[in-house]
A and B are shown apart, each in its own frame.
Chain A
Amino acid sequence: MKEFRAWHLFLLMGLFGLFFLFYQGLWGDPTVLPPVIIEEPAPEILAPVLYEGEPIRLSDHLGKVVVLNFWASWCQECKLEHRFLLALKKRFEDNPNFVMYGVNYQDKDHLAKAYLEEHGNNFEHMIDMKGIISIDYGVYGVPETFVIDKKGIIRHKQIGPVMGDVYSELIEKVIEPLLNEPVT
């Protein structure tokens, strides 16, 4: 073997390190982002509603499980999940400890109303024209769904539509256990 110098070793290590990095990197998706504000107190919300009525204040619902769904009328995936959302609301309609709100994001009043008329509606919506609520909740895009427990802590964040397996898991593994938690 010819004489082997330190820089040879460094060079080869560097090369293989780089190849490994690139290979691993190929399977990642640079656009997927880790959720951030889970297990933290839900930021307070005070927002006007889409239809007539008093503004919504989140802290009024302390002691209840709150589902927040961020949506927009221009969002395709929202249309996919909409009937699941209606079903979700219907399922817990009689539970006094369950509250569900839609947060209409980056949208126009009349477009949002037209959307709800077309796809049906059974829960209340607030409007977030300036994105203040959405940014406060670290929302990247719609749809995103948050579940807040009775103590006002964000316990679950669903990025993307709530449908199919995601829907049943959300009910069985998140909402129902949370509803059964005692209020302290």
Chain B
Amino acid sequence: MSIELGHFAVVTALVLSFVGIITPIIGLKTRNATWVVVGRRAMISMFILLTVGMAILIYGYVTEDYSVKYIYATSNSKLPIFYKVAGLWGGHEGSLLLWAWILSLYSMLATLIHWKSQPVVMPYLILIESIVLCGFLLLILFLSNPFERIFPVPLDGKDLNPLLQDPAMVVHPPLLYLGYVGLSIPFSFAMAALFSGRLGEEWLKATQRWTVFAWTCLSCGILMGGYWAYYELGWGGYWGWDPVENAAFMPWLVVTAFLHSTMVQEKRKMFKVWNLFLIILAFSLSLIGTFLVRSGILSSVHSFAADPGRGVFILGFVCFMLLLSFGTLILRSAKLKSTVRMESMVSRESAFLFNNLFFLVALMTVFVGTLYPLLMEVLEMQKVSVGAPYYNAVFMPVALGLIFLMGVGPYIPWRKSNSKNNKKLLKLPLMVSLAAVAIFFVLGVQKPYALTGLAVVFFVLTAIFTDFNKVSAFWAKREKISRIQGFFSAYRGNPRRITGIIIHLGVLVMVVGIIFSSMYQAEKILIMKPGEEVTLKSFRFRMSKLYGVTGVNWGGQEALVDVYQEGKIIAQMHPQKRFYTVSQTPTTETAIHHLNMGHLFVTIPEVAPDGTWARVRILHNPLVLWVWYGGGIMAIGAFMNIFRRVRRRSSQVTDTAGMLPEVSPNIAQPTR
């Protein structure tokens, strides 16, 4: 019975989404704010109703109500309670409901937070968010209903896909959706700006934190997905350039470009149309990503079951949203006379332009690579595959260019730079990076790609620390405090800049992790019998025994692998081959040993039925943890940015402060 209540709540939310579409329109036509208030109430009610829907489904999971088809398909009575709840987003239908719920949460929060400060935006915000929500609720209720019942009622569920029975997978989808969906807030603000013709910097300033938050969630979601793939899929890599991974990566690239280029508009009031274009593109890509993932159009490890009906609906919805947003942009942008005021070819502004160019090229690489097989198939030319080797050759150089810019862009002053300053800017970093290359070469890192990467990393690193040093010294002198305190003063003076650079540091750490874990990874796959040994680099792996194990809802075999280095045992690892009895699926459980921020990694993808031998995959992944440490640093920087103190300054002071290049070109640029 209660399931029908949840179903009813979601149906009501759908009806209310129409209210949310109609009332702001009437309000705008009649210039009567009461209608917008109704829209706001609809927004809040939708959130409550969807929460009820979600809660009732979760209740169904916990109480093991397998008369609900979706619960039957993604749960089982033997599952730990943790995974019972997470089963909600373990399949297509429930994860869509989560999508819609997060969207309603965002729209409600944005409506409540900006109600007073952004009254003009409100009707448009409610309108746009309701349209998106309406589209998703239609999809949920008519083509992928999680509340559908089955009869006869099965005794037990089919079990959650064992690969998803993992803590990272519990957190990964909500994080990713928080990222995807969070983009809808700046998108709505941008649309409001276009509709209302208030195309100033206000929408950017109002949504800056929303965008950073969405970006952070998206980044963390992607990284967590990578970590999950790393140990759960058991092939020792965290990124496979799979179409679905690319679908999440593409909006990330555009949002990152957007976060950079908005700074130009805030500071110098340029590139207004460009920023609008970028945020529309970012949200469009998150919708296109949803289409790619859920229509089964591309073959991927992660895709949901294919269903052309759903595909057609989502495509129709995506077409509608894209035409609406880009169409408005085209019609309205004519109003915006571009007022580019540039004083020098070398300035922060131009650096941002190059940054955007590189991000866009990076995006095109991923976009074309992802869709190329589809294009070839539609044109009936040939059936091709585009995979990691392509991206390694084409994407990586562009990415390195971007990282290189990271060491230049933030340190060129706004407006104008002189050549003396430029030389100073490049000299030390170049010297340090050359020295680093020499040292690494002597230490044995001799692959050209790795050396180039490290050169770029050290270039940027030096640039960052030179700048930190300069800023701290400046504040220390001014306020007569120590350098370290000076650094904190600098942070308080311009938190956005410092947090941005912390994020850059995180990127560098990640890049080092990627370089070493991909280019200096050592790996062997072989068949081993108990008692046999194999060496990998300086490690000796000995499989001492193979034996049976059982868990709550699985049975399987485990190997005991002893690892020796220089004659001493350094680790005992227990990789498993599991067989989940309910869903009849095998999985491989990775054994990981941490070693100097790298990993020893063992899996047994195949075990002889009689237990006499196992196929073993052993890896040494040096510095692989840096990938996620870097991600962690990025997240810290991003959260410091989101929760920075809001300083109230009169705009006049800000403007004057920006005109202090002769005092110190890079320091005194407090924002807000």
Contact = CB atoms under 8 A, between A and B. Distances in A.
B239 interface: no
Interface string B263-298: 000000000000000000000000010010001111
Nearest to A28: B377
A86 interface: no
Contacts of A15: 322-323, 326
B94 interface: no
Nearest to A29: B306
Contact of B308 (A18, A21, A26, A34): A26
A140 interface: no
Interface in A12-34: 12, 15, 18-19, 21-31, 33-34
A18 B284 CA distance: 12
26 contacts: A2-B331, A2-B334, A8-B330, A15-B322, A18-B288, A19-B315, A19-B319, A21-B375, A21-B378, A22-B291, A22-B295, A22-B297, A23-B312, A23-B315, A24-B378, A25-B297, A25-B378, A26-B295, A26-B311, A26-B312, A26-B315, A28-B378, A30-B296, A30-B298, A33-B383, A34-B383
Nearest to A20: B378
Contact of A25 (B330, B377, B383): B377
A29 to B, nearest CB: 8
Interface in B163-198: none
Interface range on chain A (Cβ under 8 Å from partner): 20 to 34
A11 B308 contact: no
Interface in B198-222: none
B323 A21 contact: no
Contacts of A27: 308
B120 interface: no
Nearest to B330: A8
Nearest to A11: B326
Given A3-B334, A28-B377, A30-B296, 5 more contacts: A2-B331, A15-B326, A22-B297, A28-B297, A30-B373
Nearest to A22: B315
A112 to B, nearest CB: 16
Contacts of B295: 22, 26
B374 interface: yes
A33 to B, nearest CB: 6
Contacts of A18: 288
A27 to B, nearest CB: 7
Contacts of B425: none
A3 to B, nearest CB: 5
A65 B308 CA distance: 42
A27 B374 CA distance: 11
B374 A21 contact: yes
B452 interface: no
A25 B326 contact: no
B299 interface: yes
